[in-house]
Structures are given as C-alpha cells and as structure tokens.
Amino acid sequence: MGFSGKGKRKWDFSKPKKEFREELLSIDRVTRVNSWWRQLRFRAVMVIWDWKWRVWFWTWKSWEVVDAISKAIASAKKNMIKVSIVNWTVAYNVEAKFKAAKIMIHPASEGTWIIAGWAARKVLTVAWYKDVLAKKYGSTSLINNAKATLKALTSLKEEKKVKSPHPNPLPKGEGVEQKEENKEGEEQKNNKVEEKKIEKVSEKKEVKNKEKTINKKENLEKKVNKKEDLEKKVEKKVEQKVNKKEDLEKKVEKKSRTKSWS
C-alpha cells in the first residue's frame, strides 16, 4: 500500500510549503446597532510575511471567522512592504507614531529575543526579527500599535540581510592589508562620485544660464516689437484724422461753391 520494493515510500505526505507566514493578531465580535435590529459580525486582524522579506497586516469583517481570516489575508497580499534585517535585528534606533500610538524599537544583542508588547511582538516575530527591544506609549489599540510598528520598520533604510557579522572570514595576516586596500578603494570611489556630482551641478548651472540669456533676448525682442506695433497704430490714427479733416474741408468748399452759383 503505497510503498516501493526498496523500503522507501512511493508518495511524499509532507506538508507543502506555504506561500505566506500567517499570524492571527486578534479576533473580535463587532456589533452594529440600528433602530430595527442588531448586526453581529467578526473582525479578524491578520499579519502575513512572504519569503521575500515583505510584511503587512489587514483587518476584515464577516459573518464567519474563517471567511474574515481568508479575506484579510487576501487583501494584505496587495499591500506588502519590504523590511530590512541586519544580523536578525534592527540596524539602529527607530521611533514612529500613528494617531495616538507611539513606539520605540531598539537593536539588541544576540540571545535577547523579542521584548515587546502584544501587537509589536506579533509583527516582529512574523517579520523574522529575533533580537529586538520595543516599547509602546499612548494608545492601547492593537491595530494602531501594529500600524506604528510597521511604520517604524518601513522608515528603516535598506541594508543587506546578513546572518552573521563575518560570513566570509579572511585568512590570517591578510585582514589589515585588505582593509586598507578596501578603504583606499572606497575613498577613490567616493572622490569619483563627488567629481561626477560637481560636473553635473556645473552642467546644470550652464544650462540654466543659457536659458536665462535666451529668455532675456526673447523678452527684449518682444518689447521692441510691441513698441513698433504701438508706433504703427499711432501713425495710422494720425493719418485717419488728417484724411477726415481733408474730407471735411472738401465738403465745405463744395457747399460754398453751390451757394455762390445759386
């Protein structure tokens, strides 16, 4: 029954690897009271982590607990945020605030484990932190504290995820020399980067100056054209007035002649 002749199992009954690491933060019964009836539902708060160092949480309400959990997981998948881990802890001290909830997260030495409140501890364990110290202030709401912890974790700058401080140890007697060479190489790289930045800034300044000169010339040309147009209009008006005067004089002369003949 399901075994091969060599004594090994034909089928593998091991559990398949999950797509996400899921953790239930809380389940609450929520009531909505109207003037006619009372609506009872369940609210599930789920924290999930995928295998690409991304984490997020979501809440959902439903008539059944299983439905609320599944929909919370499905909606949390759409809003995943990357988290940085250095030696299974945080790189430096972080503070964050969400509404009335405040949290402080500090790095800890190896073997400290996670010392934090309920919501912060759940989020940090799901995100694969092992040695962290955290303290919350203000609000006691689980959702607000979870959002504050996620806000603090996302504010961390991205760094490489290292399992140990020295994954590739150097041979004896070569550490100091290689360190000095690495420092010199880093200094050269930094100098090159600074030179490139200076060149870019100078190029931008030159382009801006050229644009300014071109704009000034265009403005001057526009002003000159406007003056010429105004002068032409004035001349036309003067000519029109002169012509009107001449026409009037001619009409007066004609009338005087007709009167003299009569």
Structural domain for 215, as ranges? 202-262
Residue 177 lies in a domain: no
For residue 135, what pLDDT is reported? 94
For residue 176, what pLDDT is reported? 43
89 shares its domain with 108? yes
22 shares its domain with 35? yes
What CA–CA distances, in Å, run from 159 to 151, 206, 248? 17, 37, 93
For residue 166, what pLDDT is reported? 38
For residue 162, what pLDDT is reported? 41
Assess contact for 119 and 142: CB atoms under 8 A. Answer: yes
100 shares its domain with 52? no
99 shares its domain with 116? yes
Pick the last residue of a domain from 82, 113, 134.
82
For residue 148, what pLDDT is reported? 95
Residue 261 lies in a domain: yes
CATH label of the domain that carries residue 106: 3.30.230.10
Using 70 as the pLDDT threshold, list the residues of the chain that sit under it. Answer: 1-15, 158-183, 259, 261-262
For residue 70, what pLDDT is reported? 93
**Residue 184 main-chain phi, psi, to 5 deg:** -60, -45
CA angle 58, 64, 69 (to 5 degrees): 25
Pick the last residue of a domain from 82, 106, 135.
82
Sheet architecture: strand order including 132-138: 94-98, 101-107, 132-138, 114-115
61 shares its domain with 89? no
For residue 4, what pLDDT is reported? 46
Number of domains in the chain: 3
Residue 23 lies in a domain: yes
74 shares its domain with 96? no
90 shares its domain with 71? no
Residue 260 lies in a domain: yes
Residue 34 lies in a domain: yes
153 shares its domain with 209? no
110 shares its domain with 158? yes
Residue 195 lies in a domain: no
Q: What is the DSSP string of the chain?
A: --B-TTS-BSS--PPPPPSEEEEEEEEEEEEEE-SS-EEEEEEEEEEEEETTTEEEEEEEEESSHHHHHHHHHHHHGGG-EE---BTTB-SS-EEEEETTEEEEEEE--TT--EE--HHHHHHHHHTT--SEEEEEEE---HHHHHHHHHHHHHTSPP----SSS-SSPPPTT-HHHHHHHHHHHHHHHHHHHHHHHHHHHHHHHHHHHHHHHHHHHHHHHHHHHHHHHHHHHHHHHHHHHHHHHHHHHHHHHHHHHHHHH-
124 shares its domain with 76? no
88 shares its domain with 45? no
121 shares its domain with 102? yes
For residue 181, what pLDDT is reported? 64
Assess contact for 167 and 127: CB atoms under 8 A. Answer: no
Residue 101 lies in a domain: yes
Amino acid (one-letter) located at 158: E
Residue 45 lies in a domain: yes
46: tokens are 């789920």
Pick the last residue of a domain from 36, 57, 82.
82
For residue 12, what pLDDT is reported? 58
